[in-house]
Amino acid sequence: MIVNKFNHKGWNQYSNIARNPGQVDDKVVVGTHRDSVNLNLPMDLPSPGAYDDTSGSITILEAYNLIFDQIKRENFTPYNTLEFHWYSAEEIGLLESHEIYNHYANINTLVTGMFQQDMSGFTRGTIDSSSEIHFGMATDFVSPELTKFVQLIIDTYTDIPYRTDEFGYITSDHGSANKSGYPSAFMMEALPQSLKAKDN
Domain count, the chain: 1
Tens digit of each residue's pLDDT (9 = 90 or more) over 32-42: 999 888 878 87
Residue 42: inside a domain: no
Domain of 135, in residue numbers:
2-36+47-199
Q: The pTM is what?
A: 0.90
Residue 17: inside a domain: yes
Residue 193: inside a domain: yes
Q: Comparing C-alpha atoms, which of 139, 122, 123, 130 is closest to residue 184?
A: 139
Sheet containing 111-117: which strands, arranged edge to edge?
2-6, 15-20, 81-87, 27-33, 111-117, 184-188, 135-138, 162-165
Tens digit of each residue's pLDDT (9 = 90 or more) over 78-113: 999 999 999 998 988 888 999 999 999 999 999 999
Residue 41: inside a domain: no
151 pLDDT above the threshold of 70 = yes
150 pLDDT above the threshold of 80 = yes
**CATH number for the domain that contains residue 175:** 3.40.630.10
Can you give the pLDDT at residue 51?
A: 81
Residue 181: inside a domain: yes
